[in-house]
Amino acid sequence: MIRRIAIAALMLAALSAAPASRAQDEQGPPLLDGQFSFDSFFGTIDLPAAQRGLQIYTEVCSTCHALDELSYHDIEGLGYSEEQAKSYAANFKVADIKDDGSPTQRTALPSDKFVHPFPNEAAARSANNGAVPPDLALVVKARKGGANYVYSLLQGFSDPPAGMKMNAGMNYNKYFTAGSGQIAMPQPLQDASVTYADKSPNDLKSEAHDVVTFLEWAANPELNARKQMGVKVLIFLVVMTGILYFAKRGIWHDVH
Amino acid sequence: MAAPAAPVSAQHPLVRWIDHRLPVFSFMQKELHDYPTPKNLSYWWNFGSLAGITLVIMIASGVMLAMNYVANADMAFESVERITREVDYGWLLRYVHMNGASMFFIVVYIHMFRGLYYGSYKAPRELLWMLGVVILLLMMATAFMGYVLPWGQMSYWGATVITNLFSAIPWIGSKIVTWLWGGFSVGNPTLNRFFSLHYLLPFVIVGVVGLHLIALHQHGSNNPLGIDKKGPQDAIPFHPYYTIKDSFGLAVFLIPYAIIVFFYPTGVFAEADNFIPANPLSTPAEIVPEWYFLPFYAILRSTPDILFIPAKLAGVILMFGSIAVQFVLPWLDTSPVRSARFRPVYKWLFWILLADMIMLGWVGHNRPDRIVAGFQITTFGWIGTLWYFFHFLILMPLVGKFERPLPLPTSISQAVLAAKEAK
């Protein structure tokens, strides 16, 4: 039996070593570790940090980046009340039609999707030096390295290394391996880009941490509920496995 | 020994009335209750029932996902996101289903390697094995088409690469590809037909699983000793002995499955690129299939030109050939002994084959231009491919003839008692 377990463990080790070997292939510096609240097995999203992140998204990111999959009422998942979601939505205007069919702009309702910064992709491209700012709702899931990648990228801007030839309008970011270090986005966050009402630290590192916490929530709004249910499911399964183990032994004791 | 259950004839008059006309109760009594099963099955024999249960989980979660999914190239990606975000427990359905595919392949691969080790494919179980290979092929087709449905970057480009394999067929290849696509590239018609087939094929699998079970129950399970049951002392009824053992195995299996679904739903088996909507104008840096296809993908990519056959066609032939060879495995293995426990040479070949498959998986996982120890990685892929076919086509027939097997125990119960006394 022990030999079998050892074999199974070896196979698992071989399987888990495979992704690591590819990670080494990727050029680029090792990512910064954001030490996020949701990193650990049972860890959940730190809602106050995610709320501060929403402020950063609203004041900074939303100038160029959409949040496609989300509606304004979704921010109730960050701990806001229905009233707060309503007043947050009221900051935005959405296109609609009047009863006579003529186009109009009205105040956004909680049921409206987050407004897009650009009317269409061509407008986004032409306003951004030919690059389309990616949608942020899934960005944490859609990049290798996940939250730590976005966290690193936000802090990875600097002057290009000596001798590196930059294309016109591009910025240097050592974590942007997909573009060999050249990214169309200028550094979006600096120290004190936002001022928090709760006087939380607003240096670049803290801002990056907060906005990535928000983006993790935007990509996985079910995360807290999922992990809470997971704990219950695991407790149930472990107890059931134990009961079934003894039931099996009891039933089999007269066989051999 | 538990007392045998009361026969159907002794039960409630309504049960007797139905059973006289439609013998479902005597069928269940015979096949699920009394069914004589070797008493020495190890836990490696749990994976058949686990595969069946996983199939049911996949169909149940899949049917509910289909109620909320939109098979349209402009809406598919968003509809999947909507399932995760808006549908009640939609995230649970989705994560059970997408990770369930990988769990299903883990279970089925263990089930198959168990069959390889203990010679479960040998007479009189050749058709049982062949039906299993049919199930594997159907599973692969279903999994491939299912991966296309979320219509992310890897869905789209994976579909493009895999369907393009058929273009390697001489003369008519490109026509076949256009026919498969329903257009001149992977697009809305492709997505629609893949959804239709992804919903259909699991029920075909259910049908073949039914045949697989009929073939199994004809002669009963093989066992770790690989010798036939000699009499009633070698067998125990399926219920309660194996119902409880399979239930325990299921509970153990559900723990890692639940850990993935609830704690790492997109961190273990999912590819980051598939959370970017499909974009026909932008090819991902690397197109990697799901892990369960990697050994076959490595065969495809590592095969060089062979004589006058171009590398692409040769790779396609060998990739499909690697599955096809499984159909004739019962006749390639010439040894009269089933279990590798009594086959000192084959036992080693089995472990080498397993290592070979893992190496092929590793090759498939890497970019083909990667250099390892001074060699391009496809060199290892080609060696692994050649070994795979050498194992099945050359070694299996030869070893059976020249190997001197260890003496077999006279019966299952005798071996079980001997092992008990040795303790």
Q: How many angstroms away from the CA of B249 is the closest CA of chain A?
A: 8
Where a domain ends, among A57, A91, A111?
Answer: A111
Residue B149 is classified by DSSP as T
- Stretch 87-126 of chain A: residues touching chain B, C-beta under 8 Å: none
Selecting from B240, B245, B358 the residue whose C-beta is nearest the C-beta of A14 gives B358
**Which residues of chain A have a CB within 8 Å of the CB of B417?**
256
- The nearest alpha carbon in chain B to A246 belongs to B248
Asked if residue B89 lies in contact with residue B262, where contact means CB atoms within 8 angstroms, the answer is: no
Q: Which of A18, A141, A222 is facing B272, going by the closest CB pair?
A: A141
Nearest to B51 by CA among B125, B114, B124: B114
Half-sphere exposure of A2 (CA within 13 A, CB side): 0
Catalytic residue, from B271, B290, B356, B403: name it. B290
- Chain B hits for A136, CB-CB cut-off 8 Å, are none
| A149 part of a folded domain | yes
> From the candidates B238, B276, B282, B351, which should be mutated to test the interface with A, based on the most A CB atoms within 10 A?
B276
Catalytic residue among B61, B120, B221, B302: B221
Distance from CA of A25 to the nearest CA of B (A): 9
pLDDT of residue B59: 98
* Chain A residues inside the 8 Å CB shell of B82: 69
- Specify whether B245 is catalytic: yes
CA pair distance B78, B76, nearest whole angstrom: 6
pLDDT mean values, one per 10 residues, chain A (256 residues) = 53 50 60 96 96 97 94 96 97 94 95 94 90 94 95 96 90 93 94 93 96 98 97 98 97 86
Q: Which residue blocks in B67-187 are alpha helix, DSSP H?
A: 76-85, 90-117, 126-148, 153-164, 173-181
DSSP SS3 for B277:
strand
Confirm whether A237 is domain-assigned. no
pLDDT of residue B24: 94
Q: Are both A65 and A89 inside the same structural domain?
A: no
Helix (H) or strand (E) holding B38: strand B36-38
A30: domain CATH number is 1.10.760.10
Beta-bridged to residue B38, according to DSSP, are B235
| Residue B305 to residues B10, B109, B181, B321, B359, Cα–Cα distance (Å) | 69, 30, 27, 16, 22
Nearest to B362 by CA among B344, B383, B346: B383
Whether A80 and A214 have beta carbons less than 8 Å apart is answered as: no
B356 is annotated as an active-site residue? no
Domain contains A235: no
For residue A17, give the chain B residue with the closest CA: B362
- Say if the Cβ atoms of B247 and A244 lie within 8 Å: yes
Residue A28 lies in a domain: yes
Catalytic site residue B175? no
Q: Round to whole Å and give the CA distance between B297 and B141.
A: 14
Surface-to-core class of residue B86, CB atoms within 10 Å of its CB (0-12 exposed, 13-18 middle, 19+ buried): middle
CA distances in angstroms from A187 to A131, A154, A178, A252, B410, listed in the order given = 15, 7, 17, 67, 78
- Is A252 in Cβ contact with B362 (below 8 Å)? no
pLDDT of residue A106: 95
Q: Are B288 and B273 in contact (CB under 8 A)?
A: no
Q: Which residues contact A50 (CB under 8 A, 6 or more apart)?
A: A78, A210, A213, A214, A216, A217
Nearest CA distance, B103 vs chain A (angstrom): 13
Cα A142 to chain centroid distance, Å, stands at: 9
Token readout for B231 is 């009499």
Catalytic member of B217, B239, B347, B365: B217
- Do A118 and A105 have their domain in common? no
Q: Residue B36 pairs with which residues in a beta bridge?
A: B237
| Structure tokens belonging to residue B279 | 């974009």
A54 and A152 share one domain: yes
Q: How many CB atoms lie within 10 A of CB B374?
A: 6
Per the CB < 8 A criterion, the answer to whether A147 and A34 are in contact is yes
Whether A256 is covered by a domain: the verdict is: no
Helix (H, G, I), strand (E, B) or coil at B32: helix
Using the beta-carbon criterion (under 8 Å), do A244 and B416 form an inter-chain contact?
no
Q: Quote the pLDDT of residue A22.
A: 44
Is residue A181 assigned to a domain?
yes
Chain A residues within 8 A of B261 when measuring between CB atoms: 230
Written as six digits, the tokens of B121 are: 């494919």
State whether A129 and A187 are in the same domain.
yes
Compute the nearest-CA separation of B316 from chain A (Å): 24
Alpha helices in B67-89 (DSSP H): 76-85
- The SS3 of residue B231 is coil
Q: Do A148 and A25 share a domain, yes or no? A: yes
Q: Are residues A122 and A178 in the same domain?
A: yes
- Tell the burial category of B162 from Cβ atoms under 10 Å away from its Cβ (0-12, 13-18, 19+): buried
Cα–Cα distance measured from residue B24 to residue B18, given in angstroms and rounded to the nearest whole number: 8
B198 is catalytic: no
Number of structural domains chain A divides into: 2
| Cα–Cα distances in angstroms (integers) from residue A137 to residues A65, A123, B276, in the given order | 9, 20, 10
From CA B242, how far away is CA A24, in angstroms rounded? Answer: 46
Chain B residues touching A41 at Cβ < 8 A: 263
Look up the domain containing A146 and give its range: 21-70+114-220
3-state secondary structure of B226: coil
User: With b meaning 16 or more CB within 10 Å and e meaning fewer, what string describes B322-340?
Assistant: beebbeebbebbebebbbb
Three-class secondary structure of residue B55 per DSSP: helix
My answer on whether A85 and A206 are in the same domain is no
Question: Catalytic: B217?
Answer: yes
**Whether the predicted model's global pTM rises above the 0.90 cut:** yes
Domain for residue A151, yes or no?
A: yes
Report mean pLDDT in 10-residue bins for chain B, 423 residues: 62 92 93 94 97 98 98 97 96 98 98 98 97 98 98 97 93 94 96 98 98 97 96 93 98 98 94 94 91 97 93 96 97 97 97 98 93 93 98 97 95 88 79
On chain A, the residues whose CB falls within 8 A of the CB of B236 are 255
The verdict on A23 touching B (C-beta cutoff 8 Å) is no
Q: Are B203 and B66 in contact (CB under 8 A)?
A: no
Among A226, A240, A254, beta carbon nearest to B262:
A226
B416 vs B228, B244, B286, CA distance in Å?
14, 20, 52
Nearest to A237 among B92, B258, B267 (CB): B258
DSSP-derived secondary structure for chain A? -HHHHHHHHHHHHHHHHHHHHHHHHS-SPPPP----TTSSTT----HHHHHHHHHHHHHTGGGT---TT-BGGGGGGGT--HHHHHHHHTT-EEEEE-TTS-EEEEE--TTSBPPPSSSSHHHHHHHTTT-PPPPSTTTTTSSTTHHHHHHHHHT-B-PPPTTPPPPTT-EEBTT-GGGTTEESSPP---TTSS--TT----SHHHHHHHHHHHHHHHH-TTHHHHHHHHHHHHHHHHHHHHHHHHHHHHHHTTT-
Which pLDDT belongs to residue A168? 87
- Kindly state whether residues A38 and A106 are assigned to the same domain: no
CA distance B237 to B383: 47
Neighbours of B420 (CB within 10 A): 9
Task: Identify whether residues A43 and A63 lie together within a single domain.
Answer: yes
Using the 3D structure, point to which of A204, A220, A236 is the last residue of a domain.
A220
Q: Are residues A90 and A185 in the same domain?
A: no
Residue A68's closest chain B neighbor by CA?
B78
> DSSP character for B10?
G
**How close B418 comes to chain A (CA, Å)?**
10
- Co-location of A106 and A125 in the same domain: no
In a domain, A226, yes or no: no
Please check whether residues A35 and A95 belong to one and the same domain. no
Q: Under a CB-based contact definition with an 8 Å cutoff, are residues A114 and A66 in contact?
A: yes
Cβ-defined contact of A25 to B370 (cutoff 8 Å): yes
| Interchain CB distance below 8 Å, A221 and B85 | yes
Alpha helices (H) along B220-310:
238-263, 294-302
The secondary structure element, H or E, covering residue B417 is: helix B412-422
Say yes or no for a CB contact (<8 Å) between A69 and B78.
yes
Angle in degrees, CA B106, B111, B114, rounded to 5: 125
Q: Does A2 touch chain B (CB under 8 A)?
A: no
Q: Give residue A157's pLDDT.
A: 96
Question: 3-state DSSP helix/strand/coil percent for chain B, to nearest 5?
Answer: 70, 5, 25
Among candidate residues B351, B355, B378, the one with its CA nearest the CA of residue B365 = B378
A162 touches B at CB < 8 Å: no
Strand partners, B37: B236
Q: Which residues contact B116 (CB under 8 A, 6 or more apart)?
A: B350, B353
CA–CA separation, B122 vs B217, rounded Å?
Answer: 15
